[in-house]
Structure 1
Amino acid sequence: MRPHSDPAEFEGQRVLVTAGSKGAGRATVQRFLEAGARVMTAARRRPEDLAGVEFLEADLTSADGTRALADAAMERLGRIDALVHVLGGSTGPGGGFAVLTEDHWRAELDLNLMPAVRLDRLLLPQMIDRGSGVVIHVASIQRRLPLPDSTTAYAAAKAALTTYSKALSKEVGPKGVRVNVVSPGWIYTEAADALVQRLAASSGGTPETARQAILEALGGIPLGRPARPEEVAELIVFLASGRASAIHGGEYVIDGGTIPTV
């Protein structure tokens, strides 16, 4: 069941969401649109059914791609009021630390850390000049609960993103820009299914045994299921809204109770 959305809550606001073509990014784009925002997003390919949003085909793992997105966003929208970094994922193979090559490590950092760093560097100055803005980085509970067989490099990159976010919040908070982190647990998206398939292939097992292995590595999900993309989007949009105007410099976990400590 979808929550009630105020169609005017973000009226007049310009929002940039990375990786808005599928999964949690797509759900976030849709939720901002429902709340009246003008939205821009980017991905390597535009889905045929994506409507009502400014779009740029770009590879954000490169410096040129992030520069192209920042330039296009300012040209088309005029300013950015909320910058939401959803881009991320795990592409490394299963098999633990020994199978992770230099290229695997670089790919995980280029996907999960550097796009946020680069876009912030390009777009925060216009927020600071106005004295207002919101930045939300989507990290992962794996920064605290890494899966050593399959996501060591991903977890390390998300840990770096979280630490960077905290430092950024201390710097730009006094200048009127709020920064927060959303750390999901397991969201059952296309990327999550791809991880399951990759683990099954590397272990010689089935997708079901791979899913069970992930659940066991996480220690289970007390809620009994992964989060839905729409649920993650709801948290992101709340943190970007005026309802969260005093929330700054924090990390907000949405994991169905997976992390076993307070």
Structure 2
Amino acid sequence: MFKTLAPADPTELAGKRAIVTGGSRGIGAAITQRLLDAGATVVTTARGITDETPKGATFIPGDISTLDGVRAFTEAALAELGGVDIVVNNAAAARVHLGGIATIPDDEWVDALNLNYLSAVRVNNALLPALHESGAGSVIVNISSGVAVTPGPQLSHYGAAKAALNNYTKSLAAELAPAGIRVTAIMPGNVLTPGADVIRQNFADAAGVALADITAGIPLGRPGDPRDIAEAVAFLVSDRAQWITGTALTVDGGEIPVL
């Protein structure tokens, strides 16, 4: 169970303008709420709003799996905020193919790259002029996945897209460092979200085990809560992480080293 934390400092990100993609539920909603709690003004997007979507954020519906969708959203977000200081690329989706790599249709490889990798590239490219205008101290955080470094055939298309995102993160960090703009990634492990629950259920059904068995081996004794990832984002976008860039932080309860 996630340990209740002390309230966030409501002044830490006061005056900061943040954009979070995929913020309607799960990890994205937790990130959006955590940035709001720290005093940031937040715009978020997804295809549709849910009961989980933080009420304090401005929600702009959109589909950022396409270049046109990214352009429409980023233009609307910048018009709302007047600029941007923090960008969190969280939008993602995956579908399990238990039959392995050869059973993944070509269009799903393309879809995986568009949403899980290229959406971040396109969003960042669209927002770079505004980030440069904001100046040193601006931050980009790309939400990757532990699957990027623990590949499996059933999610190969998703893992390949996230591995590309890690590589891109490091390259972009090197390019933007002279401007004082930091770029990092976070690789979540098994976090309890609606989308991830479906994936875990697929694996549990295929293995003939209970759903809880899929996360039973996590060294810290529990699956992740979306707030675990949100806390990592809150750190990386703050001045507390001012000398951190170009890295991919694993937040998984210790699971990856024992796989």
- State TM-score, norm by structure 1: 0.91
- Structure 1 counterpart of 2:17, from 14, 19, 23: 14
Task: Name the residue aligned to 2:83.
Answer: 79
Superposed displacement of residue 111, structure 1: 1.5
Task: Give the unaligned 5+ runs of structure 2.
Answer: none
TM-score, structure 2 normalization? 0.92
Among candidates 143, 155, 158, match of residue 138 of structure 1: 143
**2:249 paired residue number:** 252
Which moves more between the two structures, 75-84 or 221-230? 221-230
* C-alpha deviation, 1:63, in angstroms: 1.1
Among 104, 107, 112, which residue is 1:108 paired with? 112
Q: Relative to structure 1, is the Cα distance of residues 223 and 142 closer, same or farther in structure 2, using a 3 angstrom cutoff?
A: same
Runs of 4+ in 1 over 3 A off after TM superposition: 197-201, 203-206
Pair 1:59-2:63 in alignment: yes
1:4 Cα deviation after fit: 3.0
Number of residue pairs the alignment of both structures matches: 253
Which ranges in structure 1 are unaligned for 5 or more consecutive residues?
Answer: none
Distance in 1 between residues matched to 2:166 and 2:248, nearest whole Å: 8
AA aligned to 2:140 is V
The residue type paired with residue 134 of structure 1 is V
- Percent of aligned pairs sharing the same letter: 40
SS at match of 2:36: helix
Matched, 1:99 2:96: no
* Residues 152 and 211 (structure 1), Cα distance of their counterparts in 2 relative to 1, 3 Å cut: farther
Q: How does 1:117-128 map to 2 (within 5 A)?
A: 117-128=121-132
Q: What residue identity is the alignment partner of 1:140?
A: S
* Matching residue's letter, 1:144: V
Distance 2:13 2:76 in 1: 21
Give the Cα separation in 1 of the matches to 2:245 and 2:169: 11
1:204-241 CA distance string (max 9 Å, x none): 846x2x653x459xxx3111221110111001011001
Aligned to 2:152: 147
8 Å Cα contact 1:61/1:115 also seen in 2: yes
Q: CA shift at 1:92, angstroms?
A: 4.1
Q: Assess if the C-alpha contact under 8 Å between 1:189 and 1:229 holds in 2.
A: yes
Give the match for residue 39 of structure 1: 42
